Structure 1
Amino acid sequence: MEYKVKIDSFEGPLDLLLHLINKLEIDIYDIPAAEITNQYLLYVNTMQELELDIASEYLVMAATLIAMKSRSLLPDHASTDDEYDEEEDTGEELMRRLIEYKKYKEAAVKLQELEKERTKLFSRSPADGLFAPVKEGPLNVTIYDMLGAFQKMTRRKKLSVPRQATVRRQEMSVETRMKMLMKTLHDAKVPVLFEDLFQSHEREELVVSFLAILELMKQNEITVMQKGSFAQLYVVSGGTTNDK
């Protein structure tokens, strides 16, 4: 399957780490090296498996986390004072960068909220379709939310896969799968649960379906929604109203 997708939603390894810290409810001032490293590598491996075009900085951060995890698992007497100081410096530097990144990200969100409030000062015609969505609207769904949902879905697929041998289907292109997904969503006329769009147990078909969803999101043909942080994802035809 030769198909690579570049997603603009990747904001860097610090953004992924902050996502994991929020998801795992970890104290940013006391990050467990082993747990955060395992979760980070799971996401990076999923990106590579899907052949997403990710920057090398993700791999550099992965190497840093693996080194921190290795040192944390060693007995106290196995490391010298210099190695211990280096570990502390690396951990403190990472924590400092995360805290600084979080501040900037929260400031950016605040500015976006102020911008939205400012736009309310201008009158707009109801015909614009401004009030078509649900009042509260969907939460912002990031690429990491999508990857997390894909991970959970594939794990469940592996657990429920039938033991009998199955006949492999003919390989399907991303473009063909995009058309099939759009028809499914148009016919449904209501938000469809993310997992319900993955009927196959074949890895290749699961990957093609996921890439098709990402491409449809990129083209603003569909919207992926969440009713709460880290809740289940729902997909509906039609792009976001931000561009209207």
Structure 2
Amino acid sequence: MEYKVKIDSFEGPLDLLLHLIQQLEIDIYDIPAAEITNQYLAYVNTMQQLELDVASEYLVMAATLIAMKSRSLLPDHSSEEDDYIEEEDPRDELARRLIEYKKYKEAAGRLHELEEERTKLYSRPPADQLFSSNAEGPLNVSIFDMLGAFQKMTRRKKLAVPPKATVRREELSVEKRMNVLKEKLAASKEPIRFDDLFDSSERNELVVSFLAILELMKQNEIIVSQKGNFADLYVTVGGNET
């Protein structure tokens, strides 16, 4: 059984790298090749396990990072050869791309804020967004935060590298799971921890639950909030339910 979903909020590999750099508090001018490569590959692997539509540009960046990591592990012979020509550190080029991307992203964010201010002058509904910024927590939860939370949850369930899946005859429906999750959230007086929304340890059921949560966020029917970096995610009914 396959579950194919295309997530429009993936803004590209540079967006993922910026997320990792900010989360790990890494100096953008001194990127540790091994650590950032391992983290990046873990996210891409999670996307593939969830059978999300991973664009080829993510895989191209993965190959670039692997090459960069391999180069960093090679011994330095620059001092042994008089005629050695120093090559540019590939991390410098990556840092330049990230800085340029960050500038455009911040400018786009500012333009979006101005657009939202402008729309308040008219009586029209807000544009549909995958992840609403109406959560009460101090941090906005991104798709990468969701993937990171899913990684941690599967590791706790010892499913980070799942065994061969057993074929099951029972049909798993994202729509049905959405209804179950909405009922569970509506019945709770307190926000529910993200991990507690996953009742099963079966990989297929975990994937369906995760996709159901993403779809509910897309429809603005739930709010996912986080108190700080690396903190647990909490889910409440919101948006259309209010």
Which runs of structure 2 are paired with 1:27-176 in the superposition (5 Å)? 27-77=27-77, 81=84, 85=87, 88=89, 90-115=90-115, 137-138=136-137, 139-158=139-158, 170-176=170-176
User: 1:226 aligns to what?
Assistant: 226
Deviations 1:182-227 (A, max 9, x none): 1111111432111110121222211111111111112222221122
Q: 1:110 to 1:65 in 2, by over 3 A?
A: same
What is the alpha-carbon root mean square deviation over aligned residues?
2.9
Letter in 2 for 1:85: E
Letter in 1 for 2:16: L
User: 1:237 aligns to what?
Assistant: 237
User: 2:8 aligns to what?
Assistant: 8
Letter in 1 for 2:198: F
Structure 1: distance between partners of 2:25 and 2:233: 20
Structure 1 residue 106 displacement after superposition = 2.1
TM-score (norm 2): 0.80
Structure 2: distance between partners of 1:178 and 1:240: 14
Deviations 1:15-66 (A, max 9, x none): 0000000011000010010000000000000000000012110000000000
8 Å CA contact 1:7–1:218 kept in 2: the answer is no
Aligned to 1:234, what secondary structure does the other structure show? strand
Letter in 1 for 2:25: E
User: 2:128 aligns to what?
Assistant: none
Aligned to 1:20, what secondary structure does the other structure show? helix
More helix by share: 1
8 Å CA contact 2:30–2:91 kept in 1: the answer is no
Aligned length: 220
8 Å CA contact 1:16–1:144 kept in 2: the answer is yes
Deviations 1:163-188 (A, max 9, x none): xxxxx894522222111111111111
Aligned to 1:76, what secondary structure does the other structure show? coil
Structure 1 residue 118 displacement after superposition = 5.9
Unaligned stretches of 5+ residues in structure 1: 125-134, 160-167
Q: 1:58 to 1:123 in 2, by over 3 A?
A: closer
User: 1:163 aligns to what?
Assistant: none
Structure 1: distance between partners of 2:240 and 2:34: 38
Q: 1:140 to 1:100 in 2, by over 3 A?
A: same
8 Å CA contact 2:135–2:225 kept in 1: the answer is no
Q: 1:152 to 1:169 in 2, by over 3 A?
A: farther
Letter in 2 for 1:217: M
Structure 1 residue 239 displacement after superposition = 2.6
Unaligned stretches of 5+ residues in structure 2: 124-133, 160-167
User: 1:132 aligns to what?
Assistant: none
User: 2:165 aligns to what?
Assistant: none
Letter in 2 for 1:183: E
Structure 1 residue 150 displacement after superposition = 0.4
Letter in 2 for 1:53: D
Q: 1:112 to 1:230 in 2, by over 3 A?
A: farther
| Pairing 1:205–2:177 present | no
Structure 2: distance between partners of 1:111 and 1:217: 23
Which runs of structure 2 are paired with 1:171-182 in the superposition (5 Å)? 171-182=171-182
Letter in 2 for 1:173: S
Structure 2: distance between partners of 1:239 and 1:69: 43
TM-score (norm 1): 0.80
Q: 1:229 to 1:113 in 2, by over 3 A?
A: farther
